[in-house]
Each structure stands twice: as structure tokens, then as C-alpha cells.
Structure 1
Amino acid sequence: MRLHRNLCFAVIDGLHQIFNEDAYADKVVQSLLRRDKRWGSRDRGFIAETTYEIVRYKRLYGEIAAVKSPFSRDDLWRIFAVWATLKGIKLPDWKYFTETPSRKIKGRFDELSKIRVFRESIPDWMDALAVSELGERLWTNELTKLNEQADVILRVNTLKITKEKLQGLLYDEDINTEFIKGYDSALKLSERANVFRTEAFKQGFFEVQDASSQLVAAYLNVKPGMKVVDVCAGAGGKTLHLASLMQNKGQIIAMDIYESKLKKLKIRARRNGVHNVDMRVIDSTKPIKKLHNKADRVLIDAPCSGLGVLRRNPDSKWKLQPEFIDKIKSVQQDCLEQYSKMVKSGGQMVYATCSVLPSENNNQVDNFLNSESGKAFTFVKDNKVFAHKSGYDGFYMALLTKQ
């Protein structure tokens, strides 16, 4: 591989924003890819994949380069040189690489690869927390998988098209996909591609949604004609899936504390041909109280640490802080206590997170069931999804029934 100066500069600019300005990696990469219209798919792929790879292994590469945060631009070039050397890429005769100690880099890599926090590049506190909750073996296997690049998974919008027809349409646009056993509405891309430019996406034939995330809506046992509430709807990925499962019949109330996210859902719903969704901002306790004992089904896709989706958000390893984990557990318990009141007798509720920590998952469900608010509910089943076993994101979901 030959390194091109303008592409490398784009990566360095992106890393500066992510590491030193606390910008979100996905937003930074999107911005970088719009920098030069002349860049082809290979150029864009280099920028995106290289940026994410260096973010993913920030601690390892930084340790080998002997630099510490906050990074100067020279520091970032040293980190870049470490990445390129370990990838076997010949460094060009640029001033940034004149004193790159290639043999020393490989030697340090061999040494540090024996230590998990460096090999998998993770903060000490996060590693210790996960080990205490999951054990050494399980966490080691999971963390290794969470450092791999995630597949691109599509969820077929069955309101408009079948999985087989969508596969054919994408093939006509030079995008090859494959079915995934056990995931009824999923298509996996054989190679990464910008699916948002396809005519199929513009027509609302699919959404990009990880296979594990696609399990959540189905876990709620919805049927056409029901009254369903999605209380942490966000931009509505699971809301739209619920609409498909309900065949656009009945009512889905999508709620969130952020009106901006619900506005995005409105746009997505229009593209998907979904018309049974009402959107309500949770700006006080009134919207919740109005729905007490009214819902056949309630989905609580709770705020969480996101430790199950590090493959997609590797920068969150460096943004998360221990105190956030403690705070979010309190929020999760409050969500269960407040939103469960919307379930009517005989109705069901799913509590879900994209975390792999028991303290955010089954422990929260147990605490709820032992609380005053949870006495009316019985535990039906749960699903602990680990990336190293499923091949997809880490997730948790629990189904409860109101007596």
C-alpha cells in the first residue's frame, strides 16, 4: 500500500478532533469524507478505516510511540507511524517519519501484546470492572471480539419489500449480501459499501441495524392492533422495526427526552412508509401519567454504558468515566420504575441495553422485581447476547409480564 499525503493529513486532522477536542468519531469521519469530492471509495475507505483503527488501539499505539494525551500533531504522526509499521506499510520519505524506529516498534508490540489492557487497548478501570462482573475468561474473549470491525447489517423493511427482492435489487447496484440464520429480517453485506447512496435506501426498503439490535423488537411479542410504547425511542430504529412487525396496524407511541431525535424518527418513518407512530417528548411526568395502565406492550431500550457496541463506537472507551457507569445504573432503575406503570394488566414489557455488564442488565431486572413497583410483574425470560458468541453486538433483553 502506498500512502497518499492528503489522505494521511485527513486522518491526522480527524484524530486531533477525536482525541484532543473530544469530538465523536462517527461525526468526525463523516465530515472528513466530505472534504474532497474527488476521493473515490478506496480513498474514503482508507480514511474511515484507518481513523477508527487508530482510535480503537489508541492506548497500545500511544504506548509504543511513547506519547501521552493530549497529543501534539507530531505525537499523532508518531502514532500513525506505529500503525503503518505494524501493518507492514512502507513509510514514505516525509519529515514526519524520518526517525521512525521500525525494529523497536515491533519489539514493543510483542512485549505489550502479552498484557490485555495494552493488547486490547482499554482503560484500566474499565478492564477491572468488566473482569469483576464477567470473569477473566469471558471478558477476554468478549473484548477481543469487540475490537474487531463490525459487519454492516441491514434490516429489511417488510412493509415494502421481501428479503429476497431486496437482495436482488442491491445486487443490481453491485452490493452483495447474504442471509443470516436466525435473523428473519437481516442481510449482511459481503463487503463494506456506502448503502445510503443506493436507490433501495432512498425508497425506504431497509435500515442499517445490527443483527443483535434486531432481536429486541421481536422479543416484545407485538401483534397488529396493539398499543405499544417505545419509551427511549431515540431516532427510532426499534420503533420502525415494531411498526413492521405490527404491519402498520395499531398504535406505537415513540417517546424520548430529546425532541431532535424524534424529528429524525419522523423523517425515517416517512421514508419507511410507517404511519402508525405518534411521537411525544418526555418534558415532564404528564406524558407518562397519561399512559398509566394503557399499553399492551412497553419497550425500555434503556440508556447504558454501551460496552456491547464498542466495535461501532471505539472512541467511547476513552470518553466513558467510572462515575458515568454509576449514574447510568440509577437512571436505568428509574426508567424501570416509572415506565413500567404504563403496562396494563396482562401486558408485557421488555428491558434492553447494549451493555454486557450484569450490573446494568439482569441485576437491574432482579432489583426491579424485588421493588414495590416490580411486584406486579413476573419474569418470563432473558437473552444475554455476547459478541464473541453471536458474532454481532453485545446486547441484553428481558421479557416481563404484568399479572
Structure 2
Amino acid sequence: MRLHRNLCFSVIDGLTLIFNEGKYADKVIQQLLKRDKRWGARDRAFVAETTYDIVRWKRLYAEIAEVKEPFNRDNLWRMFAVWATLKGIKLPDWKYFEKTPTRKIKGRFDEFSKIRKFRESIPDWIDNVGLEELGEEKWTKEIAMQNEQADVILRTNTLKTTKEKLQNILFDQGIETEPIKGYNSALKLVERANVFVTDAFKNGFFEVQDASSQLVADFLDVKPGMKVVDTCAGAGGKTLHIASLMENKGQIVAMDIYESKLKKLKVRARRNGVHNVELKVIDSTKPIKKLYNKADRVLIDAPCSGLGVLRRNPDAKWKLEPEFLDRIRETQQEVLQQYSKMVKPNGKLVYATCSVLPSENQNQVEAFLKSEAGTNFSLVKDKKVLAHTSGFDGFYMALLERKG
């Protein structure tokens, strides 16, 4: 591979924003890809994948390059040189790469690869938490899988088409997919492609949604005609899936504390042909109290550490702090206590997170069931999804039923 100066400069600019200014990697990469209209698919892929790669392996590359935060541009070029050397890419004769110790880089890589926190490039505290909660063997496998590039998974919008028809439509547009056993609506891309420019996407035939995330709506056991509340709807991936399972019949109340996210859901719902969703901003306790004892089904897709989806958000591990984990556990229990009151007698509730930590998952459910608010509920079943055993995102979901 030959390195092109303008592409490499874009990567360095992006890393400066992500590491030194705390910008979100996905937003930065979106901006970078708009820089030069002459870039082809290969150029754009280089910028996106190289930036994500160096973000993912920040700690390892910084240790090998012997640089410390905050990184100046020279530091970032040294980390870039580490990335290129480990990829077997010949460094061009640029001033940024003068005196790059290629042999030393490979030696230091071998040395650091013996220590998990460097090998998997994670902060000490995350390594300690994972070890404490999952144990040595499970955590070692899980965090290794979280550094693999995630597959692109589509969820067929069954309001508009079938999985088989969608597969044929995409094939005609040069995109090959394959079904995933045990996932009713899922198709996996055989090779990465920009699916958002396809007519199939613009016509609302599918959404991009990981296979593990697709399990949640199925777990909720919805039926057409029900009243369902999605309490932490965000931009609505699971809301839209629920709507398709309900065949657009009944009512879904999609709630979130962020109005901006619900506006995105409104746009997506229109594209998906979904018209049984009512949007509600949680700006006080009033919208929640109005729904007490009203819902057949309630989904709590709770805010969490996101340690099950680091493959998709590699910069999250550098933004997370131990204090956040403590706060989020409190929030999780609070939303369980409050939002569970929306479930009517004989109704059901699903509590879900994209974390792999028991303290955010089954421990929260157990604490809720022992509390006063949880005395009327019983655990029907739960599911723990680990990335290293499933091949998809780490997830947790628990189905609870309110007694009659």
C-alpha cells in the first residue's frame, strides 16, 4: 500500500480532534469524509478505518511510540508510524517519519502484547472492572473480541418487504448479504459497503441494527393492537422494530429525555412507513405518571457503560470514567423503579443494556425484584449475550411480568 499525503493529513487532523478535544469519532469521521469530493471509495475507507484503528489501539500505540497525552502533531505522526509499521506498510520519505525505529517498534509490540491492558489497549480501571465481574478467562476473550471490527448487520423492515426480497434487491445493487441463523429479520453484509446510498435504504426497506440489538424487540413479546412504551427510545432503532412486529397496529409511545433524538426517530419512522408511534419528551415526571398502569409492554433500554459495543464505539473506552459507571448504576435502578409503574397488571417489561457487566445487568434486576416496586413482578427469563460467544455485540435483556 502506498500512503497519500492528503489522506494521512486528514487522519492526523481527525485524531487531534478526537484525542485532544474530546470529539466523538463517528462525527469527526463524517466531517473528514466530506473534505474532498474527488476521493473514491478506497480513499474514504482508508481515512475512516485508519482513524478508527489508531483510536482503538491508542494506548498500545502510544506506549510503543513512547508518547504521552495530550498528543501534539509530532506525537500523532509517531503513532501513525507505529500503525503503518505493524501493518507492514512502507513509510514514505517524509520528514514526519525520519528516524522511525522500525525494528524497535516490532520488538516493543511483542513485549507489550504479553500484558492484556496494553495488548487490548484499555485503561487500567476498565481492565480491573472486567476482570472482577467476568473473571480472567471470560474477560480476556470478551475484551479481545471487542477490538475486532464489527460486521454490518441489517434489519429487514417487514412492514415494507421480506428478508428474501430485500436480499435480492441488494444483490441487484451489487451488495451481497447472508441470513443469520436464529435472527428472523437479520442480514449480514458479506463485504462492507455504504448501504445508506441505496434506494432500498431510502425506501425504508431496512435499518442498520446489530443482531444482538434485534433480539430485544422479539424478547418483549409484543402483539398487534397493544399499547407499548419504549421509555429510552433514543433515535428509535428498537421502536421501529417493535412497530414492524406490531404490524403498525396498536400504539407505541416513544419517550426520551433528548428531543433531538426523537426528531431523528420521527424522520426514520416516516421512511419506514411507521405511523403508530407517539413521541414524548421526558421533561418532568408528568409524562411518566400519566402512563402508570396503562401499558401492555414496557421497554427500558437503559443507559449504560456501553462496554458491550466497544467494537462500534472504540473512542468510548477513553471517554468513560469510573465515576460514570457508579452514577449510571444508580440511574439504571431509578429508571427501573419509576418506569416499571407504567406496566399494567399481567403486562410485561423488558430491561436491556448494551453492557456485559453483571453489575449493570442481572444484579440490577435482582435488586429491583427485592425492592418494594418490584414485589409485583417476577422474572420470566433473561439472556446474556457476549461478543466472543455470539460474534455480535454484547447485550443483556430480562423479561419481567407483573402479577395480575
2:123 alignment counterpart: 123
User: Once the 2 structures are TM-superposed, how far is the Cα of residue 4 of structure 1 from its aligned partner?
Assistant: 0.5
SS of 2:212 mapped into structure 1: coil
Secondary structure at the residue paired with 1:307? coil
Indicate the SS of the match to 1:299. Answer: strand
Structure 2: distance between partners of 1:88 and 1:171? 34
Residue equivalent to 2:101: 101
- Quote the residue 2:74 is aligned against: 74
1:229 matches 2:226:
no
Give the alignment of 1:3-402 within 5 angstroms: 3-402=3-402
Give the distance between the partners of 1:37 and 1:164, measured in 2 at CA: 35
Distance 2:183 2:56 in 1: 28
Partners of 1:9 and 1:148 in 2: CA distance: 25
Identity in percent: 77
**Letter aligned with residue 215 of structure 2:** L
In structure 1, distance between residues paired with 2:86 and 2:289: 57
Partner Cα distance (2:379, 2:176) in 1? 41
Deviation sequence 1:304-349 (CA, Å, 0-9, x none): 0000000000000100000000000000000000000000000000
Listed one character per residue, the Cα deviations across residues 211-241 of structure 1 (whole Å, up to 9, x for unaligned) are 0000001000000000000000000000000
TM-score by length of 2: 0.99
Q: How many angstroms does 1:98 deviate by?
A: 1.0
CA distance in 2, matches of 1:305, 1:145: 17
Q: Distance in 2 between matches of 1:29 and 1:148?
A: 19
Residue type of the partner of 1:88? G
Give the distance between the partners of 1:199 and 1:283, measured in 2 at CA: 37
Code of the aligned partner of 2:174: D
C-alpha separation between the residues in 2 aligned to 1:98 and 1:334?
55
Letter of the 2:394 counterpart: G
Q: CA deviation at 1:172?
A: 1.1
> May I ask how many residue pairs the two structures share in their alignment?
403
Query: Which amino acid letter does the alignment assign opposite residue 46 of structure 1?
Result: F
SS at match of 1:396: strand
Letter in 1 for 2:236: G
CA distance in 1, matches of 2:35, 2:211: 31
Q: Could you say what secondary structure the match of 1:191 adopts?
A: coil
Per the TM alignment, residue 173 of structure 1 is displaced from its structure 2 partner at its CA by 1.1
The AA in structure 2 aligned to 1:43 is D
Distance in 2 (alpha carbons) for counterparts of 1:13 and 1:383: 42
Extract unaligned runs of 5+ from structure 2. Answer: none
SS of residue paired to 1:59: helix
Q: Which amino acid aligns with 2:213?
A: S
SS of the residue 1:138 aligns to = helix
Q: What residue identity is the alignment partner of 1:215? A: L
Structure 1 gap ranges (5+): none
Distance (whole Å) between structure 1 residues aligned to residue 99 and residue 210 of structure 2: 43
**How much does 1:359 deviate?**
0.2
What is the DSSP-based 3-state SS (H/G/I as helix, E as strand, rest coil) of the residue aligned with 1:351? strand
Superposed CA offset, 1:141-182 (max 9, x none) = 000100000000000000000111111111111111110001
